[in-house]
């Protein structure tokens, strides 16, 4: 049976923060808070029907109020990086917050993952969920335009978690929204993900400079450690990489229709997640930033490579790369992006 429950999670600056629990008839349960649109928990059955929480995070709101690497959050206005923390629109140069060296990462300091969104429950015959809305004022973190963003999470009885993003603006701006969940299909806190098997529906990726800003080239994944056209273990080619994976893949999709982007399988539990999206790109990240200093929900430290992320998105630095798919949003237009995570065994 599909249902959604709402519980008080805490307060931020006098605003109530809620935790919404979405449940289906298969035993799957997803918890989402209107603080940052964060997915705090995702319980998924294994081959024996045993549930495990497959996303990294915290049990209490205070964990998310501290310094953490965007666990489960909606990131924006611009997910990923903008080189030199500036871009030009209609001959006007805009400067956004420098928060990663000289570059801009994931929307700056006041990003969409650390603000309180307005929330309303969604329930119909096919799914339950929560719709979140945030009004980002003109000039926030340097971005032009008053932007109204909405993110709708829905869970159905096929163990599909869909995330639909929309945004409108009153001035030309740039938008790139994604969810930054850290997955471990064996269960959060259960060790590294190097034995997980990955398939990515992509022939090309965007090479980057030392600051992880794309060079503008679209390069073939063939004969590189980035080739996941056929399934391979995450850790199989780590000896050819310095910090694991943190790469943007060019997806083989047509734009407006959902298409297959990736599949990850965990052989011990037999859990699998498939990703379908309308986005032109996907950042595959294997959490080389974790170092054991963060203690997770089960009381275990999150060590290096304890998770993987599949961030469906526009390409990094697209505002400065006219040859990339455009991330510009004009008044009268609606930014739309949908991603579905389908869990199975």
Task: Just list the catalytic residues.
Answer: 180, 311
- The answer for 140, left when phi > 0, alpha when psi is -120 to 50, beta otherwise, is beta
Cβ atoms of 250 and 203 within 8 Å: the answer is: yes
Q: What whole-number distance in Å separates Cα of residue 332 and Cα of residue 345?
A: 43
85 contacts: CB under 8 Å, gap ≥ 6: 95, 96, 97, 98, 102, 103, 104, 142
Q: Give the pairing type, strands 197-200 and 259-265.
A: antiparallel
CA 219-224-227 angle, 5° bins: 85
| Burial group, residue 137, by CB count within 10 angstroms (0-12, 13-18, 19+) | exposed
Structure tokens at 2: 């599909």
- CA-nearest of 68, 67, 38 to 55 is 38
Only one residue has tokens 């953490």, namely 68
Cβ atoms of 208 and 80 within 8 Å: the answer is: no
Q: What whole-number distance in Å separates Cα of residue 129 and Cα of residue 20?
A: 8
Q: What whole-number distance in Å separates Cα of residue 298 and Cα of residue 121?
A: 28
Cβ atoms of 327 and 319 within 8 Å: the answer is: yes
Cβ atoms of 127 and 156 within 8 Å: the answer is: yes
């Amino acid at each position: 049976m599909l249902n959604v429950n709402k519980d008080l999670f805490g307060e931020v600056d006098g605003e109530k923060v809620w935790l919404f629990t979405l449940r289906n008839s298969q035993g799957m349960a997803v918890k989402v808070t209107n603080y940052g649109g964060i997915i705090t928990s995702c319980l998924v059955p294994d081959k024996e029907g045993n549930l495990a929480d497959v996303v990294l995070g915290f049990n209490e709101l205070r964990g998310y109020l501290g310094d953490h690497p965007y666990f489960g959050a909606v990131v924006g206005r611009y997910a990923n990086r903008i080189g030199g923390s500036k871009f030009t629109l209609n001959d006007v140069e805009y400067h956004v917050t420098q928060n990663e060296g000289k570059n801009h990462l994931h929307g700056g300091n006041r990003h969409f993952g650390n603000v309180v969104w307005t929330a309303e429950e969604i329930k119909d015959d096919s799914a339950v969920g929560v719709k979140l809305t945030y009004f980002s004022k003109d000039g926030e973190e340097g971005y032009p335009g008053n932007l109204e963003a909405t993110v709708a999470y829905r869970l159905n009885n096929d163990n599909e978690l869909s995330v639909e993003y929309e945004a409108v603006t009153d001035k030309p701006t740039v938008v790139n929204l994604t969810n930054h969940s850290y997955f471990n299909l064996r269960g959060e806190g259960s060790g590294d993900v190097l034995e997980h098997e990955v398939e990515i529906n992509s022939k090309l990726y965007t090479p980057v400079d030392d600051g992880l800003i794309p060079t503008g080239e679209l390069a073939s994944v063939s004969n590189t450690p980035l080739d996941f056209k056929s399934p391979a273990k995450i850790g199989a080619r780590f000896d050819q990489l310095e910090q694991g994976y943190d790469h943007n893949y060019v997806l083989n999709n047509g734009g407006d229709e959902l298409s297959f982007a990736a599949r990850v399988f965990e052989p011990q539990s037999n859990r699998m997640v498939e990703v379908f999206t309308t986005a032109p790109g996907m950042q595959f990240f294997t959490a080389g930033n974790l170092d054991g200093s963060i203690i997770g929900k089960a009381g275990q430290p999150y060590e290096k490579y304890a998770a993987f992320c599949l961030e469906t998105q526009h390409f990094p630095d697209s505002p400065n790369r006219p040859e990339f798919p455009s991330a510009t949003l004009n008044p009268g237009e609606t930014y739309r992006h949908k991603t579905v995570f389908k869990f199975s065994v």
